[in-house]
Amino acid sequence: MTKKKFISIILARGGSKGLKHKNLKRIAGKPLIEWSIIQSLKAKEISSTWVSSDSKKILNLAKKKGAGIILRPKKFASDKATSESAWIHAIKHLKSRYLKFNYVVGMQPTSPIRLSGEIDKGIDIFKKKRFDSLLTVVKTHNFTWVKKGGRFFPDYNLNKRKRRQNLKPKFLENGSFYIFDKDGIIKHNNRLYGKIGLFKMNSQSFIQIDDLESFNIINYLMKN
């Protein structure tokens, strides 16, 4: 049986509303985008690493660090553009260049707290369980509330409050990486479809860089 090939596609826009040029800001001594490139290149299951961006500065850096580059059209790099549209553009571009691959590991540079070994473990689970798509999550036993009609309501019984550790676990998406078939995402226009798998990561990986505060927190964690 022919071995299925996995590649990574890292989406890194040049602009950002929350934190300007965040993908090039230095975190723990390296530009943010570089961490995802390093982690991908070290993952044994990934055959090639690609960065999709509308920024020439990001693409030049990616090329120097050993990643392949894909110039993303502006229409797929706006604030309203979905990650799906950017991944699909990248996949079609690589297919037009006759690159042979079966699955994509969609990595998000704003979630740099991950290890190369975790990527390999996620791929291993994806293959063994024969999932169609997979997402990374963190497990939580926290009490949560929801807003309805301008008011807040608990999602647990206030009169029979359990110990936190006795609550049913919930799984929160941390946005670290996704795995999907190159044709499946095009067909469904969605990164998650079919038989969906979850890959659990540590609680610190839940922090994503959206603003200066989260940037400083991750910078501290990765330095220490």
Give the CA distances from residue 90 to residues 93, 97, 104, 203, in Å, rounded to whole numbers and listed in that order.
5, 11, 10, 30
Distance CA 55, CA 41 (A): 21
114 is catalytic: no
Structure tokens at 65: 């660090």
Determine which one of 161, 163, 164, 191 is catalytic.
Answer: 161
Nearest to 83 by CA among 115, 63, 110: 110
**Can you say how many angstroms the Cα of residue 196 is from the centroid of all Cα atoms in its chain?**
15
Strands 46-53 and 6-11: parallel
Active site residues: 161
